[in-house]
Amino acid sequence: MSPVEEVKKLISINSVTGSEKVLGVYLEERFRKMGCETRLFEADENRFNVYAEIKGRSLDIPGLLFHGHLDTVAAHGMESPFIPIEKDGKLYGRGSVDQKGGIAAVISAFEETLRTGKIPGKTIAFIGVIDEESEHRGSMALENMGIKAEFAVVTEPTGLRLGIGCKGTMPIRINVTGQAAHGCRPWLGRNAVVAGMDITQMLMKEELPVFEVEGLGRLQGSLNLGKIDGGRAYNIVADRCSIWFDRRLVPGESQLAVLKRVKALVAEYSAQNGILAEAEIARPDWNWEPIKARGLLPALTDVSSAEVDEVKKAHKMEIGSGPELFFTDGYQEMDFLINDLGINSVQYGPGDSSLCHTDSENLDLEQLELCSRVYLNMIRLLCG
């Protein structure tokens, strides 16, 4: 199947986070029938990661691993989320760009590799994971699955640019508990909203770390105040307030150290002002302790590696110039591959990532075809 037909098929299988099973089972069969060795791994109840490999002559670990996530965000207000619509060289549908396009490009490159009948020198692998859009249970399971590779490509959309790193992200909630009183006698209460404002200002004033990425420039950690909830009525001293922050981490920062610093500042404020304030890792969709404890960490590719040179060559063979390198302010699951598995990884995939999660999500089909050929080049250059 062409990558275009392939991605249409993948979009037609609804795999909104939590319901990835049907897609996992489909992919396992799709890869097995083309000649791969495959397995399903239950990463969460009735939700499966899918692994496929084309065995190489060498018995070593795979020379190249493609990583993609099976889940998508909900359909929200999309016109036709699961019946893809093709228009002006674009394919509209939920998951088209995020990131069934990347997976379709891998399937086509694998099929093409097998069609030659030639056994590659090194094994080529694909891992499809669940739950990327929420608690990352799929990529959290990679260590337990025993996933290994010399090098990995995360197939999330990059517009065919080469992603060499990502920031980490920490959802922090500050909970402030004060004491209610009648609004006519505020001196009898302890105002949690006022304390929350003080704490917010204190945190926003902190100088955040800077990291220099060779050739790309300066990155800085960031802190966004996303949401404040507090108080009960205009004429009551507010006795509770919660404030949500999104703290983005640069390479070298750890969730543990940042949380420790925030907790210390908040504790100091509490002691000085006789009010109870506490900081915690919290996100509305995170109920699973392991992800709260681990967090989503920054990651950086070793760009001096021979594999990165081959990836650049694979791109250039098809496109003629480039690829442009970038470091994303966003978060990518290359974090798990680099930080937990020790696999040097890049991000490279078809489509415009600014369309992810939008109601007009669509995939540029020319990029999809190009990407599939670049993946095939990567396979040939890295696995022989």
Q: Which residues bind Zn ion (CB under 5 A)?
A: 98-99, 156
CB atoms within 10 A of CB 319: 13
Residue whose CB is less far from Zn ion, 28 or 131: 131
Across the strands, what pairs with 285? Answer: none
Q: How far is the CB of 95 from Zn ion (least distance, A)?
A: 9
Strands (E), 231-361: 240-249, 276-281, 299-300, 325-328, 344-347
CB atoms within 10 A of CB 91: 24
Q: Report the distance separating Cα 347 and Cα 62, nearest Å.
A: 18
Q: How far is the CB of 253 from Zn ion (least distance, A)?
A: 23
Residue whose CB is less far from Zn ion, 98 or 310: 98
Q: How far is the CB of 163 from Zn ion (least distance, A)?
A: 12
Q: How far is the CB of 248 from Zn ion (least distance, A)?
A: 17
Residue whose CB is less far from Zn ion, 99 or 328: 99
DSSP 8-state symbol, 236: B
Radius of gyration for the chain, computed over Cα atoms and rounded to the nearest angstrom: 23
What is the number of the residue whose Cβ is closest to Zn ion? 98
For residue 97, which amino acid is it? V
Residue whose CB is less far from Zn ion, 156 or 364: 156
Residue whose CB is less far from Zn ion, 98 or 239: 98
Token pair 């109840």 in the structure block, residue: 45
> How far, CA to CA in Å, does 299 sit from each of 150, 207, 222, 330?
17, 21, 16, 11
Q: How far is the CB of 333 from Zn ion (least distance, A)?
A: 8
Q: Report the distance separating Cα 380 and Cα 323, nearest Å.
A: 18
Angle between helices 365-383 and 101-115 (to 10 degrees): 50
DSSP 8-state symbol, 321: S
Across the strands, what pairs with 242? Answer: 175, 229
Q: Is 44 left (phi over 0), alpha (psi -120 to 50) or beta?
A: beta
Phi, psi of 66 (to 5 degrees): -95, 135
DSSP H or E segment with residue 205: helix 192-205
Residue whose CB is less far from Zn ion, 155 or 372: 155
Residue whose CB is less far from Zn ion, 96 or 99: 99
For residue 312, which amino acid is it? K
Phi, psi of 188 (to 5 degrees): -85, -15
Q: How far is the CB of 154 from Zn ion (least distance, A)?
A: 9
Quick one: tokens of 345?
Answer: 């990884």
Residue whose CB is less far from Zn ion, 153 or 238: 153
Q: How far is the CB of 136 from Zn ion (least distance, A)?
A: 11
Q: How far is the CB of 373 from Zn ion (least distance, A)?
A: 22
Q: How far is the CB of 156 from Zn ion (least distance, A)?
A: 5
Residue whose CB is less far from Zn ion, 106 or 193: 106
Quick one: tokens of 57?
Answer: 């002559």
